[in-house]
A and B are shown apart, each in its own frame.
Chain A
Amino acid sequence: MPTLETTFAGIKCINPFWLASAPPTNCGEQIMRAFDAGWGGAVWKTIGAPITNVSSRYSSIDWNGQKMMGFNNIELISDRPTEVNLREIAEVKRRYPKNTVIASLMVESKRETWHDIVQRAEDAGADGLELNFGCPHGMSERGMGAAVGQVPEYCEQITGWVKEKARTPVIVKLTPNISDIRIPARAAKRAGADALSAINTINSITGIDLDTLEPRPMVDGKSSHGGYCGPAVKPIALNMVQQVMSDPNAALPMSGIGGIGSWQDAAEFILLGSGTVQVCTAAMHYGYRIVEDMADGLLAWMRRKGYETLDDFRGHSLPNMREWKNLNLNYKVVAHIHESKCIGCDLCYTACWDGAHQCIHLDRTLPAPNHFRTPDMVAAESRSRISTTPIPKLDLDGAGADGPYRTPLSRIPRVDEEECVGCNLCSLVCPVPECITMERIDTGLAPETWEERVAAGIVPQGVGHAGNPNL
């Protein structure tokens, strides 16, 4: 039987599912209910500097009828007195000794202030500390949060102060609002951080009210940029986690964050090296109960894959990520449409013509392949066709199917495999699972990368700006 138990930076965890430092971890009563629901840990809503919150605080964007594809907040850190939070941490740890409680901290940039809060959080019984160097709104204007995370020297300095005092593992939470997340990650590692968590929220404006012209969330007619999260940010978070975890100077135990709401999301973060995952938006949307399927689904997948522990697959996709110049240029796939599955929506056809390489055609019922018939010509032909309501008595010769498939042959597109570049677009827009598959074509050529071509002098090296840190 596989297990979800794991050890993260020395902290024993009953499962890798933590609630991120956010409204779902605002108080002890909430966190205890979350633990009852199955959450393995919780990062307490950030404790530290005194603040006042605004009303309203959240906004979101919906997509094609789905609510909260992306979520945004301008709420600050905990607005409860530090003593109350610390007392409740102690109570939670007393009642739930096996669950992980991490204290998220953020105070002004003074050594003694950091020493003081570290001491008090650990005295309360926190299993570890998370340094909030990522909050992108409000706190950063006061020199905290992202204002620290965006300056590697400050990041290193404060992590150093915390490490002078801390007896429990120190996790540095990174901001994505930076051009290269590896730089602050390396700074944290240099200062002795025990772990990293990424990503915090992304600077965002979710939308504007088109009646009032006021951006959301609205506070007395005005707004302020917020922190973006939810399903929409997962690809950005996965990339940043991979960047850090593939960098030997930055990699540390990683608590992955960003758009996680399902067991599949969690598995992906773990495959890119995360030891635990943190969840916020999905729990804010649907409640703590979502963790049950995250655990259940992940265990079932582990059973199918033959993994006993999270370590059995943690980081296993990292070797499959590489720089573009190291990809095999002689690998070729082409789209294949499975006619028996095609429903005739022809979205692949319009996508290929307008968005890709004009190599899907609607010419199966024409006398010969026709690569010059544009979508406009196809549509105009249909519009010029006269159709009438079929009435049995009046139409003795009903329209028959024009091919062997359930979809009329005239509506099943054909891929010109000679021209297909294998871009995937058609298979991405196709609404039917497994209807368009990308099939490997044997080019008969040995694998070859751009870097190899440069090395062999087949292609020029190319000239960038001297000293560009990206090179």
Chain B
Amino acid sequence: MSEQTNFQAQSPGSAEIAARFPDLHPAFDKTAAVTEANRCLYCFDAPCTSACPTHIDVPRFIKKIASDNLEGSAKTILDANILGASCSRACPVEVLCEGACVMHRYNKQPIEIARLQRFAMDALHESGAPLPFSPGKDTGKSVALIGGGPASLACAAELRRRGIRAEIFDARPLPGGLNTYGIAEYKLPLAESLREIDLISQLGVEFHFNTTVDAAQLAALEASHDAVFLGMGLGAIHKLGIAGEEMQGVTNALDYIAGYKSGEITTAPQRVAVIGAGNTAIDAANAAVRLGAQEVHMVYRRGPEQMSAFAFEYEHAKQEGVKFLWHVKPTGLKGAGKVEALELAKLETTSDGSLVPQAGGEFSLPVDLIVLAIGQATHTDFLAGLDSQPSKVKLERGRILVDRATGQTSNPKYFAGGDCTNGGREVVDAVADGKRAGIGIAAWLEVK
């Protein structure tokens, strides 16, 4: 049964969270947007467009802002990237479009592409207009999409524009996956993610919530649909593998971020330690600071050169007041029922590059909350098929193998995209995967 409603109205907003997580990059007003748009050189075959995984025609949408054709600007963005609004806020543009801007070599600031893109998308949203696309003429075909995150949403939009039924199955009560529940609120508020999905839903995308697809249901969906798109992302965050992890006061970054974004967590205790040094770890650490923690440490077994977070995220965390403990490893948790301290060991690198504990380098960090952010496991068990049959699709190190251009897996009826294929990248990568897969599915269904 499809549930088409106003998702944004169901947003579990919290005034306190909104106050603690204001926009990191405030919106442009019209004058500023036009001035900035006029600075764009309008490069041929622009590097920003090439750098964007969805290949948004950046100079084209920017020139449309300069010419006061905001409708056309938004359409240019959406034509390439159906989550253009989310991406304008969530993308690490420093390493994407803005990083590729030729202005860097002109000794000038790169064009503020993300803020311009947000300006065009906000204008569309404020106008109350629907997406500038219509569903295609019904082909009678249907596709089941597992997971309701960016990859599935982008895939579904392509399918609907081609008259193919798109049914999304998602484990959570609201759509969007990590786009809704996993991005720092000062970048992309939960309600903004839902607002964008409301527009996609108007194309006739059908949603089934609170539905974790298992092997049996997958078999049923495969039988009842012409193709299946796998866009379920990754699984749970890894455990440390040390005693006491079930103790109260130990959580993981995804639950922590989803918790504050949906207003269930509105305060942080005095002392917080985040284990890991990726972008998610930084989001969790910054969140703890903004939720009121007095002392937030990030704990990482290697040094800042090896951290997987983007350099600008590291800088941001330092500005927020996060402290860093490099070259240390958790060895134990202390506490009576509730965590009270994290036992740590200093590490040193041996001649062969491996990390070993330093003699006498043990110490204890008093904490009230520990947030684990040491990477996510995969979520592919349900692909194994009923009665332990071989996996539906070929995997490699837990990731689903796909043809990059079409998203098709080793099983022609199965397509996939997003984190479950790429190991965990950005929203925009998932959108690009989903878009290519949507087009790929339509092409495959046509010749099948």
A382 touches B50 (CB 8 A): yes
Contact assessment for A411 and B95 in the assembled complex, using a CB-CB cutoff below 8 Å: no
With contacts A65-B66, A345-B43, A345-B44 taken as known, whether A386 is within 8 angstroms of B50 at the C-beta atoms is no
A344 and B308 within 8 A (CB): no
Interface: B96 (CB within 8 A): yes
Q: Shortest Cβ distance from A371 into chain B, in angstroms?
A: 17
Q: Which residue of B lies closest to A381 (CB)?
A: B45
Given the complex, which residues of B lie within 8 Å of A394, measured CB to CB?
422-425
A43 CB to closest chain B CB, in angstroms? 35
Supposing A343-B105, A347-B44 touch, asked if A389 and B95 sit within 8 A by C-beta, the answer is: yes
Given A65-B66, A343-B102, A389-B95, also A379-B53 (CB < 8 A): no
Selected from A64, A343, A406, the residue in CB contact (under 8 A) with B38 is A64
The interface bits of chain A over 324-346 (1 if a CB of B lies within 8 angstroms of the residue's CB, else 0) are 00000000000000000001111
Q: Are B41 and A345 in contact (CB under 8 A)?
A: yes
Does residue B47 face the partner (Cβ distance < 8 Å to A)?
yes
Tell me if A387 counts as interface (CB < 8 A to partner B): yes
Kindly state the separation between the CA atoms of A346 and B47 in the bound complex, as whole angstroms. 10
Kindly identify which residue among A64, A390, A411 contacts B47, using a CB–CB cutoff of 8 Å. Answer: A411
Pick the contact of A391 from B41, B49, B308, B404 — CB < 8 Å? B308
Nearest neighbor of B102 in chain A, beta-carbon distance: A343
Q: Report yes or no: A65 in contact with B106, Cβ–Cβ below 8 A.
A: no
**A350, CB-defined interface residue at 8 Å:** yes
Residues of chain A within 8 A (CB-CB) of B66 are 64-65
- Number of residue pairs across A and B with beta carbons under 8 Å? 82
B224 within 8 A of A: no
Contact between B35 and A65, CB atoms less than 8 A apart: yes
Q: How far is the CA of A362 from the CA of B42 in the complex (A)?
A: 17
Tell me whether A431 is interfacial, beta carbon within 8 Å. Answer: yes
Q: How far is the CA of A383 from the CA of B44 in the complex (A)?
A: 12
In this complex, how many residues of chain A approach chain B with their Cβ under 8 Å: the count is: 30
Residues of B contacting A345 in the complex (Cβ-Cβ under 8 angstroms): 41, 43-44, 102
Partner of A432, one of B106, B405, B432: B106
Contact with B along A357-368 (1 / 0, CB 8 A): 000001000000
Q: Is B428 at the interface (CB under 8 A from chain A)?
A: yes
Please tell me if the beta carbons of A349 and B52 are within 8 angstroms of each other in the complex.
no
A439 to B92: give the CA distance in the assembly, Å.
Answer: 43
On chain B, which size bracket covers the interface? 35 or more
Given known pairs A389-B426, A390-B95, the reply for A375 and B35 (CB within 8 Å) is no
Give min CB distance, B50 to chain A, whole Å. Answer: 5
**Interchain CB contact (< 8 A) of A382 among B49, B278, B308:** B49
**Complex interface: chain A residues within 8 A of B43 (CB):** 344-347
Q: Bound complex: CA of A214 vs CA of B185, how far in Å?
A: 47
Q: Does A385 contact B (CB under 8 A)?
A: yes
Q: How far is the CA of A387 from the CA of B47 in the complex (A)?
A: 11
Contacts of A391 in B (CB 8 A): 308, 425
Say whether, besides A387-B52, A411-B47, A344 and B96 are in contact (CB < 8 Å): no
A378 on the interface (CB 8 Å rule)? yes
Q: A383-B55, A388-B422, A431-B41 are in contact. Are A65 and B34 (CB under 8 A)?
A: yes
> Is A393 in the interface zone, CB < 8 Å from B?
yes
Most B CB atoms within 10 A — which of A379, A392, A407? A392
Q: Are B44 and A375 in contact (CB under 8 A)?
A: yes
How far is it, in angstroms, between the C-alpha of A393 and the C-alpha of B425 when the chains are bound? 10
Chain B proximity of A63: nearest CB distance (Å): 9
Q: Which of B42, B50, B92, B404 contacts A389 (CB 8 A)?
A: B92
Neighbouring B residues of A411 by C-beta, 8 Å: 47
CB distance from B139 to the nearest CB of A (A): 26
| Contact A389/B425 with A65-B38, A382-B50, A411-B47 known, Cβ cut-off 8 Å | yes
* Residue pair A375, B45 in contact (C-beta under 8 Å): yes
Q: In the complex where A64-B38, A65-B38, A345-B43 touch, is A431 in contact with B106 (Cβ < 8 A)?
A: yes
Contact present for B42 and A343 (CB under 8 Å) = no
- Point out the residues of chain A lying under 8 angstroms from B51, CB to CB: 387
| Residues of chain B with a CB closer than 8 A to A389's CB | 53, 91-92, 95-96, 425-426, 428-429
- In the bound complex, how far is the Cα of B433 from the Cα of A389, in angstroms? 12
Determine the distance from Cα of A36 to Cα of B42 in the docked complex, in whole angstroms: 44
Q: Please tell me if the beta carbons of B105 and A406 are within 8 angstroms of each other in the complex.
A: yes
Chain B residues with CB below 8 A from A382, complex form:
45, 49-50, 55
Q: How far is the CB of A341 from chain B (nearest CB, A)?
A: 9
- Compute how far the CA of A383 lies from the CA of B57 in the bound complex, rounded to whole angstroms: 10
Do the beta carbons of B47 and A344 come within 8 Å of each other? yes
Contacts of B52 in A (CB 8 A): 387
Q: Is B425 within 8 A of A388, CB to CB?
A: yes
Q: Which of A344, A347, A350 meets B105, CB within 8 Å? A: A344
A349 to chain B, nearest CB (A): 6
Question: Complex formed: what's the CA distance from A13 to B424 in Å?
Answer: 75
For residue A375, which residues in chain B have a CB less than 8 angstroms away from its CB? 44-45
B38 contacts A346, C-beta separation under 8 Å: no
Question: What's the minimum C-beta distance from B121 to chain A, rounded to whole angstroms?
Answer: 20
Cα distance A391–B35 in the bound complex, in angstroms? 32
Q: Which of B35, B38, B91, B105 is most buried by chain A, counting CB atoms within 10 A of its CB?
A: B105
A-facing mask of B265-304, CB < 8 A → 1, else 0?
A: 0000000000000100000000000000000000000000
- The A-contacting residues of B in range 202-247, CB under 8 angstroms, are none
Judge whether B38 and A388 touch: CB under 8 Å.
Answer: no
Which residue on B lies nearest to A66, using beta carbons?
A: B38
Closest residue of B by beta carbon distance from A432: B106
Smallest Cβ distance from A343 to chain B, in angstroms? 4
Q: Is the CB of B102 within 8 A of A386?
A: no
Which A residue's beta carbon lies closest to that of B375?
A: A393
Query: Whole-angstrom distance from the CB of A415 to the nearest CB of chain B?
Result: 15
Q: Which residues of chain B from 127 to 184 have any CB-CB distance to chain A below 8 Å in the complex?
A: none
What are the interface flags for A389-432 relative to B under an 8 Å C-beta threshold, 1 for contact and 0 otherwise? 11111100000000000110001000000000000000000011
A-B contact pairs, 25 of them (CB 8 A): A64-B38, A343-B103, A343-B105, A344-B105, A345-B44, A345-B102, A347-B41, A349-B44, A350-B44, A362-B45, A375-B44, A383-B49, A383-B55, A386-B405, A387-B53, A388-B53, A388-B422, A389-B91, A389-B426, A390-B95, A392-B308, A394-B422, A411-B47, A431-B41, A432-B106
Which residues does A use to contact B, with CB under 8 Å? 64-65, 343-347, 349-350, 362, 375, 378-379, 382-383, 385-394, 406-407, 411, 431-432
Task: Given A343-B102, A389-B53, output 5 extra A-B contacts at Cβ < 8 Å.
Answer: A344-B47, A382-B49, A386-B404, A388-B432, A394-B423
